[in-house]
Amino acid sequence: MSDLKVPEGLLSRWQRIFGDELKDFLEAIKTPLVPSIRVNTLKVRVEEMISLFSQRGIDCRKIPWCPYGFWIYGCEEENIGNFWEHFVGLIYVQEPSSMIPAEILNPESKDKVLDIAAAPGSKTTHMAQIMENRGAIVANDINPKRLKALTNNIERLGVVNVCVTCMDGRRFGKILPSSFDKVLVDAPCSAEGTIRKSYKAIYNWHEWAYKKLSETQKALLISAFKATKPGGLILYSTCTFSPEENEAVVSYILEHYDAETEGIDIPGIEVSEPILSWNGEDFHPDVKRCIRIYPHKNEVGGFFVAKIRKLSF
């Protein structure tokens, strides 16, 4: 992970995004993340799991924003995937910032939830855990291959309140209008925030991708908005830094639909300010309630989160 060559175009965008913090950011992305897990309380108690690990000399340190999330010291991520505890679904290997959306959306056990882009199921299984396997989650993805991983994870973790669908998420607003209490849009994105894990996002980088991704993200968020009951909650998240895929998408919804953002409070994490204008466009002022999470300020990958309340149709 040391010979990092960032394309000029991407570097100059990051300069505009991170400003004085660019050096720290570039340094941080060369450092691999400490592996982390979510203990699956549908199958095991947290204390039991921690004690099993400590008997083997594995040190678990609490992730402050998730009651069952832990950083794991004393073994590699590849090894965790081979533990019997992983095979039988007592744990799920999950990056700490990816634990934020389900914790913020916080679905109740009576809720009907839509996870519009769900594969491979990190957040679906996390929400099922919060709901104690009650209520109902529709977990959808457009990609059948990725859905296979989702169904495997659902089965492995003992999740029983999920119905899996394979369709274009952009259709939900039309076929199931005002149907869900809570909707998660963990959008397909350019994944710049994942580079502490892999440099793929850098090697596959193309400037033109932002426009296409932003269009898909807007369409998914519009569909999610329509599928949510009035008064219901939508959580929009990406693991990327580009304003086109983050603030611009949220701003579009606030400008065209009866929705408002809500403040987000996450214990134990340093959040960064959202970007309020980009390439000559000023975003809706309520975008200021969205949060950015940066890998040089926390032991996590990069993330963007917006909490959106649907007011009326």
Ligand X SMILES: C[S@@+](CC[C@H](N)C(=O)[O-])C[C@H]1O[C@@H](n2cnc3c(N)ncnc32)[C@H](O)[C@@H]1O
* Catalytic residue ranges: 239
List of residues 6+ apart from 271 with CB closer than 8 A: 264, 291, 292, 293
What is the C-alpha separation between 255 and 200, in angstroms, rounded? 34
What is the C-alpha separation between 237 and 127, in angstroms, rounded? 15
118 sits near ligand X (criterion: CB under 6 A): yes
What is the C-alpha separation between 113 and 124, in angstroms, rounded? 9
Residue 288 has what DSSP assignment? G
Do 309 and 231 form a contact (C-beta atoms < 8 A)?
A: yes
The token pair at 1 is: 């992970």
Q: Which C-beta is closer to ligand X: that of 50 or that of 80?
A: 80
Distance of closest approach, residue 128 Cβ to ligand X, in angstroms = 12
Q: Which C-beta is closer to ligand X: that of 118 or that of 157?
A: 118
Facing residues of 238 across strands?
304
Binds ligand X (CB under 6 A): choice among 120, 135, 173, 301 = 120
Backbone angles phi, psi at 169, to 5 degrees: -60, -20
Please identify, among the stretches 137-145, 241-249, 256-264, 299-307, the one whose residues bind ligand X according to the rule CB under 6 A: 137-145
Binds ligand X (CB under 6 A): choice among 96, 169, 243, 274 = 169
Please identify, among the stretches 5-13, 46-54, 163-171, 200-208, the one whose residues bind ligand X according to the rule CB under 6 A: 163-171
119 sits near ligand X (criterion: CB under 6 A): yes
What residues numbered 224-243 form the site for ligand X, per CB under 6 A? none
170 sits near ligand X (criterion: CB under 6 A): yes
Do 124 and 150 form a contact (C-beta atoms < 8 A)?
A: yes
66 sits near ligand X (criterion: CB under 6 A): no
The residues of the shown chain that bind ligand X, judged by CB under 6 A, are 98, 117-123, 140-143, 146, 168-170, 186, 188, 216
